[in-house]
Amino acid sequence: MKQVFSIPFPTLTGRLERRTVWAIGLFVNLTVIAIYNLLFFNRFFPVTEGWFSVYANCLLGGKIPYRDFYLAVPPVYVLQMAAFIKLFGNSFILLHVLGIFVILTITLTLFALFARIFPIYIACLVSVLSTVYYESTLAHVTYDFLHFVSIYALMSAYLICNHCKRFFAFLPDNHFKIYWPVCVAGVLGGLAFLTKQSNGLLVVVASSSAVGLCTGAKGFRLALKSLTLYGLGLSIPLCGISIWLISQKAFCPFIYQVFLGAAQSKGSLGTIFFAWIPRLFTLEKVAVVVFVCILILLLRYDSFLCEKYGKFETGQFSLSLKKNVVFILFVFALSIASILLPFASVELSSAIAKTREIGKYHRGLIVLSTVGTLIWFILSVYKVVVEKKSEYIDLLAIACFSIGLIYGTGMSAAVSESGVFLPLGLLFGYLIFIHSKYHAGRVLCIALLLILMAYMASLKYIEPYRWWGLVESDVRKAVYQINVKYLEGLYLSKNSAYLFSETTRIIDKYSSQNDFVFTFPSIPVFYMLSNREPRTSLIVQWFDITSDEAAFEQADLLLRFPPKIIVLLQLPTSVWEGHENLFRDGKPSGQRAILDAIITLTSESNQYVLEAEFPIPNDHRLQVWRRVDKRPLQLERYRVSLGRSV
């Protein structure tokens, strides 16, 4: 049985050699990514980190999501975070260590997928590229809930590839080996949906499409059976979470916040589903696609659409074990050089990061990968569904999941690196493996791949985190440790270290644990760092996760119950207008009412003094306001209107 780009070992000795090569490739892959992440995992901590740690602590304190505090996403990740904190505590350095294992799991599943269709040494190279590219996402926190969605998606893709391939392996229709993978894939799809509803929904759609199209080639009855088993697996986490929410009287608020409120915060369903598409295909990005297509033609590739896959059986299987190992070690050396050389030299990394040509190419890869995915999808559907060729099943399944990941990230605002990392690896692997005249295409693609890795690594070292203009400084300048609870083991820049230590000192000095401390709009981590319980149900008030209704009620409650301490992250006008243009066609967001309430309290009522103000790059400022009015307040625990049942 042939594969698209390779054929299996025909003998027992060959299979043993393949497993050996596979294990070596995986070890090299994991080693490179582990070294890369160890260079910066404890060298930054943005003020916007810690949302789900606060949510998890509220859950551990006896509060129920949706009923007792506002939550715009399904509860699975909060439950996972609560379990981790229960076992290991609130230390953020441990969460960053967890993040390394999360990223290693992603690169492992990428390698396993690519090894199904490429020689091992190519699978190793492109899985490293895909992971480094994935981590170049601007607002990248390694243990973030979106990475768990990626893990569920990649694992589902691998299981569905196994399931569909076994249909063509002449096993009995009721054989257990055929059907358990698709059922487990359904469970993973349910977990993805219950982690983030928009991205997870597209994982479910991609999984169902892959199962239906691939197994449909064997007949409608078998496809229906596979989809039924997938649905059975999908229902397990959905039913479990639903029963728990109903038992906690939180199901109706869950529906309101996760679906109705979340949609309202982004404007409309039309904005969520379709507004990202015209933003993706800009003139600059389309120009990159045209240039690459012309370059591919000039390089004289034998078959751009892989029609003559039979000619390409010249990969790993014609090489000895020794030569395979040599190729893999060569990949290891090149990858390590691409990530270590920029780290070792600040001047080199700065020069690479400032190269405008690489930057344009880097941004254009998003459109290029999207176009390539659509081409592969159309081609593989024809080959599998019409021509009944099983060797294209893996390509079809990966294309389905690639479309799902692209569309899912697009629904969050715009397609980013975290949405195209899978098709990007497929694109480079394909262009490296197939033959071009004088092997020029292969050499050029490997060179571009290494340059791209060095560019992305340089950006990561210089700015490990960037989100709406809020940036963290160079990881090589993060050499200061601070004595702040839960931040032990992290090294920060001088300014960041002072910001965290001074802000927590002020909160500790001028408030007690029973006082009302309020943070706005995206910095609830100060509740944890100062050991203060959130006294409001609206813990995070960011633009695309908070409905206008909740924001208006929060503003009203602030005026009626002024907090003892207000920690305010002042955002530049461009951030406010950027979100309102993205999601609301320029109309004001409900968060402006909260900001107006804070301005009224701090500027017009004479009740507050500005205790500290910290400048943050790109016109951000962190302000700490202290209430000095001595009149007693009838402070009571309250919550915003969370749903129709409240």
pLDDT higher than 80, residue 274: no
Give yes or no: residues 377 and 307 share one domain. Answer: yes
Please state, in angstroms and rounded to a whole number, the distance separating the CA atoms of residues 414 and 408. 9
| Residue 616 backbone dihedrals phi, psi, to 5 degrees | -125, 145
Q: Is 381 within a domain?
A: yes
155 and 281 belong to one structural domain: yes
128 compared with 215, residue with greater pLDDT: 128
588 with 536, same domain: the answer is yes
Of the given ranges (22-36, 266-280, 404-418, 569-583), which has the lowest mean pLDDT?
Answer: 266-280
Token digits of residue 315: 């990969």
In a domain, 220, yes or no: no
Q: What strands, in cross-sheet order, belong to the sheet with 620-627?
A: 517-520, 565-570, 620-627, 608-616
Residues 373 and 269 in one domain: yes
Angstrom CA distances, 428 to 114, 361, 368, 442, stand at 11, 14, 11, 9
Collapsed DSSP state (helix, strand, coil) of residue 612: strand
β-sheet bridge partners, residue 622: 569, 614
**What rounded mean pLDDT belongs to the chain?**
86
Q: How many structural domains is the chain composed of?
A: 2
Please provide the DSSP assignment of 363-385 as one string: HHHHHHHHHHHHHHHHHHHIIII
The dihedral of CA 307, 312, 316, 318: what is its sign? positive
Pairing of strands 517-520, 565-570: parallel
Non-local (6+) Cβ contacts of 26 within 8 A are 108, 111, 112, 124
Query: Can you spell out the DSSP letters for 276-338?
Result: HHHHHS-HHHHHHHHHHHHHHHHTTBS-TT-TTGGGG--SGGGS-HHHHHHHHHHHHHHHHHH
In whole angstroms, give the CA distance from residue 255 to residue 251.
6
Where would I find the H helices in 411-541? Answer: 417-433, 440-462, 494-510, 525-529
> What is the residue whose two structure tokens read 């030299």?
345
What pLDDT digit, counting tens, does each position of 442-490 carry?
788 888 899 999 999 999 999 999 998 899 999 999 999 999 999 999 9
| Same domain membership, residue 47 and residue 123 | yes
Structural domain contains residue 402? yes
SS3 484: coil
Lowest mean pLDDT among 214-228, 317-331, 391-405, 486-500: 317-331
E strand or H helix at 131, and its extent? helix 120-135
- pLDDT score for 179: 84
pLDDT at 569 over 70: yes
Instruction: Give the residue carrying structure tokens 């990428």.
Output: 110
- Residue pLDDT, tens place only, 159-198: 999 988 877 665 555 567 778 999 999 999 999 999 999 8
Q: Which pLDDT belongs to residue 119?
A: 86
- Residue 162 domain flag: yes
Does residue 632 lie in a domain region? no
Confidence bin at 114 (pLDDT 50/70/90):
very high
Give the pLDDT band of residue 238 (cuts 50, 70, 90): very high
CA distances from 307 to 52, 301, 434 (A): 48, 12, 11
Q: Are residues 69 and 124 in the same domain?
A: yes
If asked whether residues 499 and 604 sit together in one domain, one would say yes
- Same domain for 441 and 544? no
Residue 126 sits in the same domain as residue 37? yes
For 500-509, what is each residue's pLDDT tens digit?
Answer: 999 999 999 9
45-49, 359-363, 512-516, range with greatest mean pLDDT: 45-49
What is the pTM (predicted TM-score) of this model? Answer: 0.90
In this structure, are 502 and 463 located in the same domain? no
| Residues of the domain holding 401 | 12-169+252-467
pLDDT top residue among 616 and 587 = 616
Task: With respect to residue 88, please indicate whether it lies within any of the assigned structural domains.
Answer: yes
Considering the domain architecture, whether residues 294 and 410 belong to the same structural domain is answered as yes
> Is 211 a domain residue?
no
The SS3 call for residue 219 is coil
Q: Is residue 409 part of a domain?
A: yes
**Do 502 and 612 touch, CB atoms closer than 8 A?**
yes
**Of the ranges 297-306, 536-545, 626-635, which one carries the lowest mean pLDDT score?**
297-306
Q: By mean pLDDT, which of 15-19, 145-149, 262-266, 341-345 is the weakest?
A: 262-266
* H helix intervals, 136-144: none
| 450 shares its domain with 532 | no
Q: Which of 432, 467, 502 is the last residue of a domain?
A: 467
